[in-house]
Amino acid sequence: MPTMKGAAWQQVLGLPRRTVADVALKEIPPAPGIYVWFRDGEPIYVGEAKGARGLRSRLGAHLQTGVDLSRSTLRASVAVRLLGISRSTARRRPTVMTPEQVALVNEWLRECQLAWTVCEGASAAHELEGTLRTEWLPPLNRL
């Protein structure tokens, strides 16, 4: 696992993880918070959720399986990594992604694990995500 300095990452690495294929949207709290995607035991992406429906809404966008990747930075980043396409192509609206390309992205994500934690409010979620990104930036956040 990459070296991650700081107490924030140590706390996040201890959160319970769920296999993405087994996550039901209704089990995700509609509250502000941060979330981390893991692949092969390593964190690959960190994000924040601060809207009215918080984690449920934001993770719902990442868990979608349709061909439009424009609403999920994570899904677009996976497409860039797997398919070698540009970020602007992955995020284009209307989509130019083929069902076969999106199937590869969806399959890759279903094999990941997901962890999240609720924060006291949107500002706390924003602060925690900022701290995590400062301590160590996961690879899909770099694309």
pLDDT digit string (tens) for 18-51? 999 999 999 999 999 999 999 999 999 999 999 7
Residue 2 lies inside a defined structural domain of this protein: no
Q: How many domains does the chain have?
A: 1
Question: Which residues in 80-105 are b (16+ Cβ under 10 Å) and which e?
Answer: bbebebeeebbbbeebebeeebbeeb
- Per-residue pLDDT, 39: 97
pLDDT digit string (tens) for 37-88? 999 999 999 999 997 789 999 999 999 999 999 999 999 999 999 999 999 9
Distance CA 42, CA 17 (A): 12
Residue 1 lies inside a defined structural domain of this protein: no
CATH assignment of the domain containing 42: 3.40.1440.10
Residue 120 lies inside a defined structural domain of this protein: yes
Q: Which residue range is the domain that position 37 belongs to?
A: 7-141
Distance CA 105, CA 73 (A): 12
